Amino acid sequence: MESTKKIILENQSLIYVIRHFSSIDETCTLELKNQGYSDREIQEKLKTLGSKFNTDFALSPMSLVVELSKRKPKLVIEQANQRTAYIYEFSKQIGCDSICSMDELSPSLHSNIQAEMRGDYQVHSIELNTFLATNQLVAVVENETNKLITLFPGRYAPPFPNVQQSEIEHEEATKFWEQHLFIKPLSHE
């Protein structure tokens, strides 16, 4: 199995990556404030819907990147966009996954599936009381520079279909996103 090259976490990526954390440590907070982000902006990112790392597993992207440098990934996926996805597996639950297969839902829930836009791509979503526990995480890095693009708990999900993908990758991504959806917390309105 290919080992992970040293992942580079650039300062400008930090604000993007923390959306997969529900809280962060003081070092991470100070770094973001030094970059000019306010407490309000940091809290907004931390409250972003989606998959989250458990606080007993990781409190900053910086410490998590250091931990990953000591591990070998379970799986390495080369993407068409000159990026590589490293999938790591742990012996304990590390967070919650916000993506699931429609086949994992009971038939009675299928009528609750909604369509929504994520950027320029329409995806499926559903509101549920709980997310799925996961022991996996995905780190996506640029091939040439090894700069971290994203880091999140949960299963690997290919990029949304796009023109940079080969025909095969486009078909696989389209099929994946037709069969999977995002889980959102149930709103209590």
Structure-token pair, residue 66: 């250091």
Distances (CA, A) of 81 to 47, 151, 164: 29, 17, 6
Q: What is the pTM of this model?
A: 0.86
**Over its length of 189 residues, how does the chain's per-residue pLDDT go in tens digits?**
455 578 999 988 999 999 999 999 999 999 999 999 999 999 999 988 789 999 999 999 999 999 999 999 999 998 877 899 999 999 999 999 999 999 999 999 999 999 988 878 899 999 998 888 999 999 999 999 999 999 999 999 988 898 888 898 899 999 999 999 999 888 755
- CA dist list (Å): 95 to 1, 63, 136: 24, 16, 8
Domain boundaries, the chain: 11-185
